[in-house]
């Protein structure tokens, strides 16, 4: 399942590709026809991610100033004095998407449309590789036409220069601002959001005896962390996943929040989750020194490394099931809580 950094990448990608643009919205598969009709012909006026939820705001054809994250607002659409008072429909309609385990966005477009090829459920290993769409082709302005939908496309967003197709989501619906707020109200703080409150995370963890490894996966406690960030954040904090939430000192939780924010921001920037420090990586670079770019073998400390030596102490990594997913830890670096 994509973790929060992927959803934030999507929010940025949609802002850059379609921000302020009027879109043709359809449901080639037919399962979202009514929802698509509510958005068709409207302009994308905002994008937002909260944990694993993606929200895209659409406003009527007469109002299409873009009000997404500031740095993604197309300059041409800003207000003359640069203030934040661009005209935005008071009540945009929001498309809410949760990719779940199988959902995926696929992009295509002309030479001006630089997008990830696909984001979401892995389609071989290229799922998150950035590609310049049609870079290899001969660029001819105005020559692009959208490809036929491939697979069961729930929703297609079509702009002048490109298209985004959504397949296999867990959730895809049109919601009001109020309904969106209700969804967000059930989510815990997101380390990648500027309004993410670490103290809310600390409180939620410290008021329960549930194991911290379970709490990190609970989207009501912390939004956006998935199985890889869970295992790796626990390792980096030297916390055993079975440690009871209320037994974890607040200072360690605040440090873990800060660590996650940094790791996840790096994930947003690069599209990859890398949690190891260069000095802990096994393989050597071409010059024989420590490789700066980790390979699949040493980009994580414990995730999917059961039975293999810990990159720091050499002890074999353990695994167990927790919150329905496999969790991994080093029995020496992460001491088990006393029974
Ligand atoms: Zn270890």
Ligand 1 centre to CA of 331 (Å) is 7
Catalytic one of 63, 325, 326, 332? 325
Instruction: Give residue 91's pLDDT.
Output: 81
Instruction: Give residue 324's pLDDT.
Output: 86
pLDDT by residue, tens only, the chain of 339 residues = 789 999 999 999 999 899 999 999 999 999 999 999 999 999 999 999 999 999 999 998 654 455 555 444 443 333 334 444 444 445 899 999 999 989 999 999 888 877 666 676 544 333 343 333 433 344 445 678 899 999 999 999 999 989 999 999 999 999 999 999 999 999 999 999 999 999 999 999 999 999 999 999 999 999 999 999 999 999 999 999 999 999 999 999 999 999 999 999 999 998 889 999 888 886 554 555 555 556 667 889 999 999 999 999 999 999 999 978 999 999 999 999 886
- CATH number, domain 4-182: 3.20.190.10
Q: Is 2 a catalytic residue?
A: yes
If phi over 0 gives left and psi between -120 and 50 gives alpha, with beta otherwise, what is residue 58? beta
Q: Is 180 a catalytic residue?
A: no
Q: Do domains 4-182 and 188-329 have the same CATH topology?
A: no
Three-state SS across the chain? Answer: CCCHHHHHHHHHHHHHHHCCCECEEECCCCCCHHHHHHHCCCEEEEEEEECCEEEEEEECCCCCCCCCCHHHCCHHHCCCCCCCCCCCCCCCEEEEEECCCCCEEEEEECCCCCCECEEECCCCCCCCCECCCCCCCCCCCCCCCCCCCCCCEEEEEECCCEEEEEECCCEEEEECHHHHHHHHHCCCCCCCCCCCCHHHHHHHHHCCCCEHHHHCCCCCCCCCCCHHHHHHHHHHCCCCCCCEHHHCCHHHHHHHHHHHHHHHHHHHHHCCCCCCCHHHCCCECCCCCECCCCCCCCCCCCCCCECCECCCCCCEEEEEEECCEEEEECCCCCCCCCC
Ligand 1 centre to CA of 58 (Å) is 49
Instruction: Give residue 296's pLDDT.
Output: 66
Instruction: Give residue 149's pLDDT.
Output: 93
What is the domain partition of the chain in residue ranges? 4-182, 188-329
Q: Is 325 a catalytic residue?
A: yes
Instruction: Give residue 53's pLDDT.
Output: 97
Ligand 1 centre to CA of 334 (Å) is 7
Ligand 1 centre to CA of 234 (Å) is 12
Instruction: Give residue 227's pLDDT.
Output: 94
Catalytic one of 9, 22, 52, 230? 52
Ligand 1 centre to CA of 168 (Å) is 38
What angle (nearest 5°) sits at the alpha carbon of residue 80, between those of residues 74 and 83?
80
Ligand 1 centre to CA of 316 (Å) is 8
Fold of 188-329: Helicase, Ruva Protein; domain 3 (1.10.8)
Instruction: Give residue 201's pLDDT.
Output: 98
Q: Is 52 a catalytic residue?
A: yes
Q: What φ, ψ does residue 317 adopt, rounded to 5°?
A: -75, 140
């Amino acid at each position: 399942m994509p973790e929060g950094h992927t959803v934030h990448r999507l929010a940025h990608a949609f802002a850059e590709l379609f921000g302020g643009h009027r879109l043709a919205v359809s449901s080639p598969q037919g399962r979202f026809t009514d929802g698509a009709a509510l958005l068709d012909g409207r302009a994308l006026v905002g994008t937002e991610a909260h944990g694993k939820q993606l929200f895209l705001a659409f406003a009527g054809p007469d109002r299409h100033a873009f009000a997404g994250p500031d740095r993604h607002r197309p300059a041409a659409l800003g207000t003359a004095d640069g203030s934040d008072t661009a005209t935005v429909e008071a009540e945009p309609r929001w498309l809410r998407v949760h990719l779940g385990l199988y959902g995926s966005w696929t992009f295509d477009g002309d030479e001006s449309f630089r997008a990830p090829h696909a984001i979401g459920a892995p389609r071989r290993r290229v799922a998150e590789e950035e590609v310049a769409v049609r870079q290899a082709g001969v660029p001819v302005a105005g020559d692009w036409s959208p490809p036929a939908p491939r697979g069961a496309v729930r929703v297609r967003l079509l702009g002048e220069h490109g298209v985004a197709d959504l397949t296999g989501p867990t959730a895809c619906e049109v919601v009001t601002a109020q309904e969106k707020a209700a969804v967000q109200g059930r989510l815990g703080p997101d380390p990648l959001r500027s309004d993410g409150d670490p103290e809310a995370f600390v409180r939620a963890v410290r008021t329960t005896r549930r194991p911290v490894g379970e709490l990190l996966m609970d989207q009501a406690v912390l939004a956006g962390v998935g199985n890889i960030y869970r295992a790796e954040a626990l390792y980096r904090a030297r916390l055993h996943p079975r440690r009871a939430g209320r037994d974890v000192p607040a200072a360690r939780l605040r440090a873990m929040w800060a660590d996650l924010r940094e790791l996840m921001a790096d994930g947003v920037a690069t599209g990859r989750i890398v949690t190891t420090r260069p000095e802990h990586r096994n393989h050597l670079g071409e010059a024989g020194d420590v490789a700066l770019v980790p390979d699949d073998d040493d980009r994580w400390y414990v995730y999917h490394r059961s039975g293999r030596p810990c990159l720091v102490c050499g002890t074999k990594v353990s695994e167990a099931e927790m919150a329905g997913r496999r969790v991994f830890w080093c029995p020496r670096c992460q001491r088990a809580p006393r029974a």
